[in-house]
Homo-oligomer: A and B are copies of this chain.
Amino acid sequence: MVETYGLTRDQLLDIEYYLRLTRSLEERVVALFRQAKVIGGLYRSLGQEGESVAAAYALDYKQGDVVQPLIRNVGAILVAGAKPVDILRQYMAKGNSPTRGRELNIHFGNPQTDGFIGQISMLGDMIPVMAGITLAGRMQKKNLVGLAFIGDGGSSTGAFWEGMNFASVQRLPLVVIIEDNGYAYSTPTWKQSAARTLADKAYAFGCTGETVDGNDVLAVYDATKRAVERARSGGGVTLLEVKTFRMKGHAEHDNQAYVPKELIEQWREKDPVVRFERMLIENGFATQEDITAIEQRVKREIDIATDEADASPMPTPSDAALGLFDGDGYWNA
């Protein structure tokens, strides 16, 4: 029998639901992209759904925990409670999207109310911000934990370093997942860092470091859960490296010609969703029918969300002038 780290069958099926929701929602976005209904770029998380969902599943949103995704962590915000229709509205730049058409894709969320906060584009910047969020949580005696994602590439930025360093000195309740997915755009990890492994960066901060197989849902859940517990009990920051792979190009326009074909093939074998489903079936947590039922539920939900998003209005042009500062009432309306 596989070790499930305290996850009940219901929870395992819940994870399966989020895995499928993530993958299918992104496939839907691809379809909408081809119909020219998506404005702006499209960045896939194919192959990384497992770690995104599993890590976010280790938080306690009722406790006020906050997850900060990167563009490839749509799975994480779905777990935190983001609605597919909102994500689709964002991609379609609709007027009733969470940012009312002002920002892209999954760049949205209020840490006070939503359980997640989308990144800004400047990679690394969210680490100091998450330090501030967890600092505030501590000052407000909320006992919340923050979970931040950063890429192999993003972890080269000064912002990442300063944020990690500050959070570590302050022993803030922060878990940072560093996703080594092989590439930052076209740049392989070995050109990004000469460190033996990205988890070794933890030595520089004096925080806990660990490396885990990012395509093993249960292993990621376990490692994150332990890190979250450490954080919540005053044990400070954890830098958790997940080894995974970006199965698509950086964005839709990128055919990843620079990635050796064998590498892609090799990682295709390790698909985290397929692997998790195999584990569910092999261990009797689910039948193929259960999984098909989840897939159907997911499809239904996404169909509804798509219709709703599609029917949503574009923003009113003149609204662009409003809501920069407090006082014009734009955001209260």
Contact = CB atoms under 8 A, between A and B. Distances in A.
Interface in A162-219: 162, 165, 168-169, 171, 190-196, 200-201, 203-207
A294 interface: no
Copies of this chain: 2
A203 B204 contact: yes
Nearest to A201: B204
Contacts of A192: 169
A171 B161 CA distance: 20
A291 interface: no
Contacts of A190: 169
Contacts of A193: 165, 168-169, 205-206
A226 to B, nearest CB: 19
Contacts of A165: 156, 193-194
Contact of A156 (B156, B160, B162, B206): B162
Interface string A208-243: 000000000000000000000000000010000000
Contacts of A283: none
Nearest to A198: B204
A205 B165 CA distance: 15
A157 interface: yes
Nearest to A203: B203
Nearest to A196: B206
Contacts of A205: 193-195
B206 A204 contact: no
Nearest to A169: B194
Q: How large is the interface on A (under 10, 10 to 19, 20 to 34, 35 or more residues)?
A: 20 to 34
A158 interface: yes
A274 interface: no
A168 B156 contact: no
Nearest to A191: B169
Contacts of A201: 203-204
Contact of A161 (B158, B194, B200): B158
A329 to B, nearest CB: 38
B169 A162 contact: no
A159 interface: yes
A17 to B, nearest CB: 38
A196 B207 contact: no
26 contacts: A156-B162, A156-B165, A157-B158, A158-B161, A158-B162, A161-B161, A161-B162, A165-B193, A165-B194, A169-B191, A169-B193, A171-B194, A194-B205, A194-B206, A194-B207, A194-B236, A195-B203, A195-B204, A195-B205, A195-B206, A196-B206, A200-B203, A200-B204, A201-B203, A203-B203, A203-B204
Given A161-B161, A194-B206, A194-B207, 17 more contacts: A157-B158, A158-B158, A158-B159, A165-B193, A169-B190, A169-B191, A169-B194, A171-B194, A195-B203, A195-B206, A196-B206, A200-B203, A200-B206, A201-B204, A203-B203, A203-B204, A204-B204
Chain A to chain B: the 6 pairs with minimum beta-carbon distance, closest first: A158-B158, A194-B206, A161-B161, A204-B204, A203-B203, A195-B206
